[in-house]
Structure 1
Amino acid sequence: MKKINLLTLLIALLLSACTLTAESSPEENQLESGFGDDVILTVMTHDSFALSEKVIELFENESGIKVEFLASGDTGSALNKAILTKEAPLADVFYGVDNTFLSRALAADLFESYAAPGLKNIPEEFKFDPENRALPVDYGDVCINYDKAYFAENDLPLPENFEDLMKPEYAELLVVENPAISSPGLAFLLATVAHFGPDGYLDFWAAMKEGGVSVANSWESAYYTNFSASSGRGPQPMVVSYGTSPAAEVYFAETELSEAPTASILGPDTCFRQVEFIGILTGTQQRAAAERFVDFVLDVDFQEDIPLQMFVYPVNSDAELPEVFLKHAELSDQPATISMDEIAANREVWIQAWTETVLK
């Protein structure tokens, strides 16, 4: 009888051990991952960064790494802060530098190279840095959004291109953002440079100023105060925003909408494609944890969280889009493009010339 009880006890212990192995605790996961609960990774971001709590918890539970996010202003301000503190980094990873500012980050030697395994799932069109210092994460088009109701009620044809915008009946209907301090504002300025060329874009902006174009200091101000289709019910029925903004209008509507109240002008060169990147900051003391986080950012769980958090497209070709994106978000077939080197050489000159033409 004792032998049977002993055998039963041994079997029970073995089954218990198997159960504990299969259902390991977060502490055990941390040990298996090589990270203890004292590992803290700081990620510097722009203010528009957003991620669902469940995705953050997924990473922290799987890796044993605690993540702290350091919001640092818009893209330009955050990048300035990262560069100015390069010798004593405030963070381990930087998320959110886009292709309008990427050359500046690379020239400052801000990032360490990391050929993440997840790059194999990202199309070549998004890979701007052959040294893998800045890895693509998301993309979207900066476009002119328009208020459908305004144009229908006023029986006004939609402008199809930049040349149309220069006509007297359109210029005063548009609000743009200051490219010196706004990322979408800079992207839109670059679209005009791509379309008219470095020798012709200022003629467009001079005509727009004469026609009464409005200038806001931020996207938030332009969209929520000036734009007539937003909650602010402003005076302008056109705004420089994003091709995904119509999807956001539907998603956040207080009452269910079958159709977005806004849409984008998608003519050739009228949109500029922004790509955002992530990089491991030079001098980090948490290199292994930083790599683990970058791997997570490029993987499907993070990538599929991006659309409804930041209303941009994931770069991972395996990530599925939410239904509201499939129905209402828009991408241009012919977005404006300018090489990273050309942006690097001329960005400040173009911004200064714009400022003197439009604001003075």
Structure 2
Amino acid sequence: MHHPSRMPSARRTRIACLALVVSTALAGCSLTGGGGESDSGPAENKDDSAAVDDNSTGSAPAGNAQSSGEVVLVTHDSFTLPDDVIAGFTDASGYDLTVLPSGDAGAMVNQVVLTEGSPLGDAVFGIDTTFASRALEAGVIAEYTPADLPESASESALPGDGSAYLSPVDVGDVCVNIDDTWFAEEGIDPPQTLADLTDPAYEGLFVTPAASTSSPGLAFLLATIGEFGEDGWADYWRDLVANDVAVTSGWEDAYTVDFTAGGGDGDRPIVLSYASSPPFTIPEEGGEPTTSALMNTCFRSVEYAGVLEGAANPEGAQALVDYLVSEPVQAALPESMYVFPVDDTVELPEAWAEYAQLAQDPIEVDPADIEAHREEWVREWADIATG
């Protein structure tokens, strides 16, 4: 995580945890049952003898006293879970967890695809809606489905055969957020829809991370494609540019530097962020959030986990995928990674239950269309946004 430095420390901690990092760092940290971190990279797998049928389905062994060694998880830089939850995996499976951060979702998938046949780890977490089809097309994910996948996870499953390879773990909506306090003080009616953002009334007020360097930025581009169609999204972006939209390299710059409610000295009261962002703007003395998400602008993003094809420890990888969809992890997701669990029986934190919600009718784009046109769309977007 990046840690912004322009806000009071308590609020800075809350805001920093929302960041999606765009770096491609490959430094690993070993998370053992005690939750300790190491500056060294991941050790070589200690359980090379583990074998499993690539087409198996069901839970991997848990609580096996003879299981030993480590499971290497390739994931994005924003992956974090409480120490006791990490320890719970070790207690249940006998494996230590080594986490290998590999940039944001796009950079991580690139690493996974480029190391086909010689994977960086055993399991992967954080492949999102925008990149799932690429990983599946590359054949880098082994077939595996947890036996105890929550029933509600079916609502977030990939279409077709994809659900046999990647299991949904969490759900989040990328949405336009507004600084309610700013609009109230200025006496300006806030925007409600994507189309509103091109209104001259909001000239110079909107900031978004770039589609070419940021996962939420790409999600926002896809939202505009889903909303205005393949024949209309480019004209929409030209209108945004004409209305002085600001484009940053990543979420952190957009939210914590340019956004008026992000803790810095920002001058833009409209920002591309998440449906789960508002609870983290509740003043320290209590009360209601000072920001809100525009639920008509949201793009649904699901994060998936899977076993890497050719994993040195496939049994351990299966046990880890099982654990990621289990109650301890699902309950920890809102406050550790600021996403909604796919298990809808999990009780949400009080502030989330009151102030965070998923869009009832999110904007979606067919994953097959994303895979077929992603690079083309991003190139055209770059020509418009930076040309």
Q: Same fold (TM over 0.5)?
A: yes
**2:106 equivalent in structure 1:** 76
Q: Which runs of 5+ in 2 are unaligned?
A: 1-33, 35-60
Which amino acid in 2 is paired with 1:260?
P
Equivalent pair of 1:138/1:312 in contact (CA under 8 Å): yes
- Give the counterpart of 1:142 among 174, 180, 199: 174
What is the DSSP-based 3-state SS (H/G/I as helix, E as strand, rest coil) of the residue aligned with 1:119?
Answer: coil
1:291 pairs with one of 308, 318, 327: 318
Write out per-residue CA displacement over residues 301-320 of structure 1, whole angstroms, 9 at most, x where no aligned residue: 11000000111100013221
Gaps of 5+ in 1: 1-25
1:273 is paired with a residue of what secondary structure?
A: strand
Counterpart Cα distance in 1 of 2:142 and 2:358: 32
Confirm whether residue 264 of structure 1 aligns to residue 293 of structure 2: yes
Q: Secondary structure at the match of 1:34?
A: coil
Which amino acid in the other structure matches residue 356 of structure 1?
D
Aligned to 1:202: 234
1:160: Cα distance to partner? 1.4
> d(CA) in 1 for partners of 2:62 and 2:224?
52
Which one has the largest radius of gyration?
1
Write out aligned runs for 1:166-177 (5 A).
166-177=198-209
Give the structure 1 partner of residue 375 of structure 2: 348
Structure 2 residue 70 is matched with structure 1 residue 43 = no
Contact 2:183–2:189 under 8 Å retained in 1: yes
* Count of residue correspondences: 326
Counterpart amino acid of residue 241 in structure 1? S
The answer on whether the counterparts of 2:71 and 2:96 sit within 8 Å (CA) in structure 1 is yes
- Cα 1:266–1:190 shift into 2, 3 Å: same
- For residues 195 and 64 of structure 2, the distance between their equivalents in structure 1, rounded to whole angstroms, comes to 59
In 2, Cα distance between the equivalents of 1:146 and 1:32? 45
- Per the TM alignment, residue 260 of structure 1 is displaced from its structure 2 partner at its CA by 0.5
Q: What is the rounded CA distance, in whole Å, between the counterparts of 1:120 and 1:37 in structure 2?
A: 25
Cα deviation code 1:208-258 (max 9, x no counterpart): 1111100011111111111110111311111100000012233xx5x2322
Task: Determine which of 215, 218, 231 is the counterpart of 1:183.
Answer: 215
Deviation at 1:261, TM superposition (A): 1.1
> Take 2:112 and 2:242, find their aligned partners in 1: how far apart are those partners?
38
* Deviation (angstroms), 1:294: 0.9
Matched residue type, 2:97: V
- Taking the aligned partners of 1:32 and 1:128, their CA distance within structure 2 comes to 26
What is the Cα deviation at residue 98 of structure 1?
A: 0.5
> Structure 1 residues 141 and 120, CA, compared in 2 at 3 Å: closer, same or farther?
closer
Provide the C-alpha distance between the structure 2 equivalents of 1:171 and 1:310, rounded to a whole number of angstroms: 33
Cα distance in 2, alignment partners of residues 80 and 198 from structure 1: 26
Q: Distance in 1 between matches of 2:360 and 2:152?
A: 19
- Is this contact kept in 2: 1:35–1:65, CA < 8 A? no
2-side partners of 1:351 and 1:326: how far apart? 35
> Are 1:220 and 2:252 matched, yes or no?
yes
- Asked if 1:336 is matched to 2:363, the reply is yes
In the alignment, the residues of structure 2 paired with residue 334 and residue 129 of structure 1 have an alpha-carbon distance, to the nearest angstrom, of 18
Contact 1:300 1:318 in 2 (8 A): no
State how far apart, in whole Å, the 2-side matches of 1:162 and 1:245 are. 18
Name the aligned partner's letter for residue 108 of structure 1. Answer: A
Counterpart residue identity of residue 84, structure 1: L
The 2-side partners of 1:160 and 1:90 are apart by 44
Question: Is the contact made by 2:278 and 2:292 (CA closer than 8 Å) also made in structure 1?
Answer: yes
- Per-residue CA shift, 1:42-73, capped at 9, x if unaligned? 00110111111110011112221100001111
Match of 2:147 in 1: 117
- Find the aligned partners of 1:112 and 1:310 in 2 and give their Cα distance: 25
Identity across the alignment (%): 37
The CA distance in 1 between the partners of 2:191 and 2:150, in whole Å, is 40
Q: Which amino acid is 1:85 matched to?
A: T
The SS at the match of 1:122 is helix
Shift of 1:195: 0.9
Residues 110-158 of structure 1, C-alpha deviations (whole Å, 9 max, x = no match): 1001121122523422010543111100001100111111100111111
The equivalent of 1:23 in structure 2 is none
Q: 1:32–1:293: structure 2 CA closer, same or farther, 3 Å change rule?
A: closer
Paired residue for 1:248?
Answer: 280
Aligned letter for 1:246?
Answer: P
Aligned partner of 1:55 among 85, 103, 113: 85
Q: 1:264–1:330: 8 Å Cα contact kept in structure 2?
A: no
- CA distance in 2 between counterparts of 1:294 and 1:125 reads 18
- The structure in which a higher percent of residues are helix is 1
User: Structure 1: how far apart are the matches of 2:65 and 2:137?
Assistant: 32
Report 1:298-317 matches (<5 A): 298-317=325-344
Q: Distance in 1 between matches of 2:212 and 2:172?
A: 20
Alpha-carbon contact 1:137-1:277 (below 8 Å) kept:
yes
CA distance in 2, matches of 1:127, 1:37: 30
Equivalent residue letter for 1:351? V
* Aligned-pair Cα RMSD in Å: 1.7
Measure, in 1, the Cα distance between the counterparts of 2:247 and 2:205.
Answer: 11
* Whole-angstrom CA distance in 1 between matches of 2:318 and 2:196: 48
